[in-house]
A and B are shown apart, each in its own frame.
Chain A
Amino acid sequence: MSFINYAAREINCKVVYYGPGLCGKTTNLQQIYAKVDPGSKGKLISLATETERTLFFDFLPLDLGSIRGFKTRFHLYTVPGQVFYDASRKLILKGSDGVIFVADSQVERMESNIESLENLEENLGDQGHSLDGMPFVLQYNKRDLPNAVSVSDMQAALNERSVPWFEACAAQGVGVFETLKGAAKLVLMDLKKKITA
């Protein structure tokens, strides 16, 4: 659910990074936080376990600039990827304007990718939404690893909707901003459509 505040002249949108455990969702946010100008970002909040696994969510507020005199503020969230944190994932997913699914390219993680994508579809369905009706992009992360599955195999397994996809090595910052921009574009296009409908 986007929030347009005419008094503050702000557009607020929520984007959620989803994906299996250890796929690199938090790393995406950390890279964005590290590289964005201090004036364009707020605090990076991580509610994590002692071993730095996401317990509830990571949160990063980000200003993308102005559009028609309105500041565009994106609230980026990650969900905990571990299977047993599904209740938390559902809470974070609520009200999202767009989803970035981070897939782990390693061959041994393909099953987890598929399982997590199915979990995303199921959780959205429970909330009366569908991936078909919302801004959604894929990021194929960890492309630099030797055991990475080919892009065509990733596409076949995960991208039946033919949504925009991006290759990334999030730990090195590669592909991180391209993915975010791809998602932001779809979110703003969707918002424009809703405003002018």
Chain B
Amino acid sequence: MATPDNLILFEEDEARLAATLKRLTADAKGRATFLLDKNGRVITAAGETAGLDLTALASLVAGSAAATGSLANLVGEAEFNGLVLEGQRANLTITTLDHGLILVVLFDEKSTLGLVRFRVRRAAEEIGQAFVEIARRASRGPDQAATASQGGLSEITDDDIENLLKS
């Protein structure tokens, strides 16, 4: 399923996804987990993220996933669902999900690839369900009441934009 043109995430969405990632991190015995969009933007993360440059990590993972997807097409596959990067002390699994999402698990010798893959499958289902609801809400158009109650971005004026760019 395609991602909506603009991804709008409310606090309850973030809390729900963060809870899923927290559980995944624990169940997979991972060091950290990250949910990104295919454009390399971090949606939420869990685990030992202090000291990690999440923004840089996300852009590189997204680039890598995009290149892997194109490689799949070149050899006649619709996509390669997963990518595993193995190092001496740290490993990454990069899994592309529906809705233009990428799920990343960082793990070390305390876990195994099999366990991570197994746990990722369940988390992917939960994340997918959450995004079905997010996409459904987006297809109904902006929820003005919700938007206003959570920040009032709809009230941005041209002056706000001019002032932001003055400095």
Contacts and interface: CB of A to CB of B under 8 A. Distances in A.
B9 A5 contact: yes
A1 B5 contact: yes
A103 B157 CA distance: 32
Determine the main DSSP class of A at the interface with B.
mixed
Given A1-B6, A194-B6, A67 B156 contact: yes
B161 A14 contact: no
Contact of B67 (A56, A94, A188, A194): A56
A185 B166 CA distance: 11
Contacts of B37: 1, 3, 95
Contacts of A69: 151
Contact of A91 (B15, B70, B100, B151): B70
Interface stretch (A23-31, A58-66, A114-122, A139-147): A58-66
Contacts of B152: 68
B10 interface: yes
Nearest to B59: A59
A58 to B, nearest CB: 10
A156 interface: no
Given A59-B59, A195-B142, A195-B156, A75 B6 contact: no
Interface string A33-56: 000000000110101000000001
A70 B106 CA distance: 30
Given A1-B3, A4-B6, A5-B9, A91 B165 contact: no
A91 B154 contact: no
A106 interface: no
Nearest to B167: A65
B77 interface: no
Interface string B126-167: 000000000000000110000100111111101011101101
Q: How big is chain A's contact interface, by range?
A: 35 or more
B164 A65 contact: yes
A91 B70 CA distance: 9
Contact of B160 (A2, A56, A57, A68): A68
A184 B158 CA distance: 12
B136 to A, nearest CB: 17
Residue from B8, B55, B142 having most chain A Cβ neighbours under 10 A: B55
A54 B67 CA distance: 15
Interface string B69-103: 01000000000000000000000000000001000
Interface of B: 3-11, 13-15, 37-41, 43, 53, 55-56, 59-60, 63, 66-67, 70, 100, 141-142, 147, 150-156, 158, 160-162, 164-165, 167
A-B residue pairs, 7 tightest by C-beta: A7-B14, A95-B39, A91-B66, A7-B11, A3-B7, A59-B59, A181-B165
